[in-house]
Amino acid sequence: MGKNKSNVRRILAVAGVVMAAVLLGYLWVGFWFPDPYFLAERGVAGRFLYQILPLTLLPLGFLLMALLLLLRDRALRKNLLLLLFSLVLLGLLLYPLADLLWYVRGKQKSRTMVAMYHPYLQLKPRLPDVADLPRCGKGILIFCLGGSTTEMKDSRGRGWPERVEAELRSRSCNDSIFVYNLGRQWYTTQHTLFNYEVNLRKYRPDLLIVMHNINDFLQNADFSYFSRGTFREDYGHFYGPSAQLPDQYGLFGHFRESFAHCWYHQPREVISQDTFPGVVPFTRNLKTLIELARLDSTQVILLSQPNLFSEEMGEEAKRVCSMVNKEAVGPGQQWDFETAIRGMRLYNDLVKEVAREEGALFIDLEREIPKTLTWFFDEVHYNDTTFNIIGTTLGREIARSGLLHTQHDSIE
């Protein structure tokens, strides 16, 4: 009778091991299918924590469970159970502290984001410091408006607006030309239009240099993680840099969401889009900006946006494209490269068309910058050598246009 009970226990133990193998095996296999977008955003540390660690710990957990079920040595089994219980208890004791530290970290991150946040413009705008301008005499005031491709500078802290200022001063032998870099990352034509009317128009600049494309174009990806709903002409669906403000989780919620991205992820549908509702507000915003500027006798120059997109771009170039790989990506869909090529070309063509219709000067910067990684480190942001080409090109074309001869005393 005792032997039969022993056999039954043995059979039940083996059955338990088999069930554990099936269950843990199912869990283990799932981590071989993570969300590549999620892991790419979190780097090596994220891949280790959310993929490599589970793939390592699950087999170890299975071995521990098998030992507990199959070991005949009661003393050893008792010690293993005690060890397991101690680890669980330690985890339960440490969790409140870890959750508190996570909360503090989240609050610090939120404070940083809120410090940059603007209730209407999402990110606080750059404003001109006119204190250094001469209080008497004449000068020329130029504002450069756009997104990050206007705002960002080279490795030495010098952007293309600074180069334009130096180029124009040299060509005109006039040190009273002041060029301000007022671009802001994430800004669209709508941000620029609002910012100009509310913050910048009062300075009565002589000239606006405007470069917009990719940020407006991205508004059409209303399925992305940056959007909260379908496309709106006022861009109200697109949260952009503010998208993460509402999504603050506790430590448990964070790990639950993170591991969900790394377990049996369903591949996204790669879509090709050829109609873009955003062209309507994009065109309207550019025209309205020109109309407002001209009310104050301010001239406007429109620029096409240099970019890496072309039918001939290779795999190395595609890998560095943030918009297609990171930004035009949502839970179930993402753009293909044909959409990016098509859309960037369309938006640059629209800039040219608006300039023609409104009689504004158009400078085709896209034509000046070769579409290779020598000049770009992603699809639109420049390597150091590119800034010189932009500065020289704009200085030359503005000088040729004769717009500098239109001067007034708005900066006195």
Kindly indicate the confidence band of residue 4, based on its pLDDT and cuts at 50, 70 and 90.
Answer: low
Could you tell me which of 167, 115, 117, 175 has the C-alpha nearest to residue 144?
Answer: 167
pLDDT in tens, 90-131: 989 998 998 888 888 888 887 887 788 888 888 999 888 866
Q: Please say if the pLDDT value at position 335 is more than 90.
A: yes
Q: Are β-strands 122-123 and 117-118 bridged in parallel, bridged antiparallel, or unpaired? A: antiparallel
Highest-scoring range by mean pLDDT, 190-194, 243-247, 248-252: 190-194
Strands (E), 136-261: 140-146, 177-181, 207-211
Q: How far apart are CA 145 and CA 126, in angstroms?
A: 10
Give residue 408's pLDDT. Answer: 43
Query: Measuring CA to CA, how many Å separate 217 from each of 91, 188, 313?
Result: 47, 9, 20
Give residue 275's pLDDT. Answer: 95
Token representation of residue 188? 């669209």
Give residue 409's pLDDT. Answer: 42
Highest-scoring range by mean pLDDT, 25-29, 69-73, 76-80, 340-344: 340-344
Token representation of residue 160? 């293309």
Q: Please say if the pLDDT value at position 246 is more than 90.
A: no
Least confident piece of the model among 197-201, 260-264, 380-384:
260-264
Give residue 138's pLDDT. Answer: 65
Give residue 13's pLDDT. Answer: 73
DSSP 328-372: SB-SSEEE-HHHHHHHHHHHHHHHHHHHHHHT-EEE-HHHHS-SS
The pTM of this model reads 0.87
Give residue 271's pLDDT. Answer: 96
Q: How far apart are CA 122 and CA 125, in angstroms?
A: 9
Least confident piece of the model among 2-6, 334-338, 382-386:
2-6
Give residue 137's pLDDT. Answer: 47
Least confident piece of the model among 10-14, 244-248, 293-297, 308-312:
244-248
Give residue 17's pLDDT. Answer: 81
Mean pLDDT value across residues 19-45: 90
Kindly indicate the confidence band of residue 42, based on its pLDDT and cuts at 50, 70 and 90.
Answer: confident
Could you tell me which of 175, 171, 181 has the C-alpha nearest to residue 138?
Answer: 175
pLDDT in tens, 321-331: 999 999 999 99
Mean pLDDT value across residues 138-149: 93
Higher pLDDT among residues 241 and 213, named by residue: 213
Q: How far apart are CA 411 and CA 224, in angstroms?
A: 43
Give residue 411's pLDDT. Answer: 36
Tokens 């063509």 belong to residue: 349
Q: What is the mean pLDDT of the chain?
A: 89
Give residue 136's pLDDT. Answer: 46
Contact (Cβ atoms closer than 8 angstroms) between residue 327 and residue 333: no
Least confident piece of the model among 54-68, 137-151, 329-343, 370-384:
54-68
